[in-house]
Amino acid sequence: MLQQVAPGRYDAYESLLYALAEGQVWMLLWQGAPGSPDAQYGNMDVGGLGYAPCVTSAQELAASGWSRAHEVVSGRQIAASLFPDRYGLWLNPHAPGGGVGIPWLDLRRIACGLDRLPAGPLRLSEPSLELPQFYALLGQNAHRTPAVRSLRRAWVQPALGAPYLAIGLDLYDGGAAAVESARVMMRQSVGAVPEGLPVSSVAMSDEYDPVAMWMRASARPFFDRDAFGSAQPAPAHGYGYPPPHGGQRSGPAPSAW
């Protein structure tokens, strides 16, 4: 899969992510031994973003000339370990062309489930669809749901797959009862959505979700309990996904995330 990845080949890159999720990598240890308290992965800075280097097989390990220790880790395990610190994974940096970088947002997808989260880079904007009945019903149900502080919205266009409407849920607390009441609110409201229009919800408290990050930065609430549900338009500009430009090696540019 590494040989098929190229700029703009999001289908091949997605297949690489699935292979990584099901496979394993040889992590390069800058110091310490596998399992020791002082073990530390290597560190690369590419485009101002951090990556941990690794190789994809014992053969690649030999070809890399790495003389320090290493440890073999499953793709899901290393993804879950790196993404909370906003570190990506760089595959085979010794290879011709410099290998392929996996940004931390894609490691988050691997850790949480590739089928559950949209494929990036994402294009995000204020929805242009007129859905007055849905927004009115959602606002009424939100008013009757005490756990909901505010609601935001975004139009999400993934790199692969159909675009969809995202509703950002800002709750007063993240307890199970509050989350369930918000789910009930959404179920009671989606019947007013035109047939065929996908709708998803995202927790505004999720500091790692790119849609929630865009909403916090660029979308004003269309329901705000403290403001008695006043609706205000949000600016329609992108967030965090500039087109690829210089400084990358191969594969999707880290700057695209």
Which pLDDT tens digit goes with each residue over 30-39?
999 998 888 9
Q: Is the pLDDT of residue 245 over 90?
A: no
Which tops the pLDDT comparison, 251 or 256? 251
pLDDT tens string 51-63: 999 999 999 999 9
Contacts by 30-38 with C-beta closer than 8 Å and gap 24+? 30/68, 31/68, 32/69, 33/69, 34/69, 34/70, 34/71, 35/71
Strand ranges (E), 81-198: 88-91, 100-102, 123-125, 148-157, 164-171
Residue positions counted in the chain: 257
**Is-contact 22 75, C-beta < 8 A?**
yes
How confident is the model over 191-204, as a mean pLDDT? 96
Same domain? 112 vs 26:
yes
Read out DSSP for 145-161?
A: -TTEEEEEEEEEE-SSS
pLDDT tens string 154-189: 999 999 999 999 999 999 999 999 999 999 999 999
Q: How far apart are CA 181 and CA 248, in angstroms?
A: 45
Same domain? 97 vs 131:
no
56: its two tokens: 């994809």
* Global confidence as pTM: 0.83
Q: Is residue 141 part of a domain?
A: yes
Q: Is the pLDDT of residue 17 over 70?
A: yes
Same domain? 141 vs 88:
no
**Is-contact 214 239, C-beta < 8 A?**
yes
Q: Is the pLDDT of residue 237 over 50?
A: no
User: Can you give the pLDDT at residue 212?
Assistant: 97
Domain count for the chain: 2
**Is-contact 239 218, C-beta < 8 A?**
yes
3-state SS assignment for residue 166? strand
**Is-contact 89 44, C-beta < 8 A?**
no
User: Can you give the pLDDT at residue 189?
Assistant: 97
Contacts of 230 (CB under 8 A, 6+ apart): 224
Is the peptide bond between 132 and the residue preceding it cis, with omega within 30 degrees of 0? no
CATH code, 175: 3.30.300
The mean-pLDDT minimum among 11-20, 103-112, 207-216, 222-231 falls in 222-231
pLDDT tens string 96-146: 999 999 999 999 999 999 999 999 999 999 999 999 999 999 999 999 999
Give the distance between the most distant pair of CA atoms in the chain: 64
Q: Is the pLDDT of residue 254 over 60?
A: no
How confident is the model over 188-197, as a mean pLDDT? 95
How confident is the model over 190-198, as a mean pLDDT? 95
Q: Is residue 47 part of a domain?
A: yes
How confident is the model over 225-232, as a mean pLDDT? 61
Q: Is the pLDDT of residue 242 over 80?
A: no
Q: How far apart are CA 197 and CA 222, in angstroms?
A: 19
* Domain ranges, residue 36: 10-117
How confident is the model over 208-213, as a mean pLDDT? 97
Q: Is residue 247 part of a domain?
A: no
Decide which of 93, 117, 141 is a domain's last residue. Answer: 117
Q: Is residue 178 part of a domain?
A: yes
Label residue 228 by pLDDT band (50, 70, 90). low
User: Can you give the pLDDT at residue 256?
Assistant: 28
Same domain? 74 vs 52:
yes
pLDDT tens string 65-95: 999 999 999 999 999 999 999 999 999 999 9
Contacts of 178 (CB under 8 A, 6+ apart): 147, 171, 172
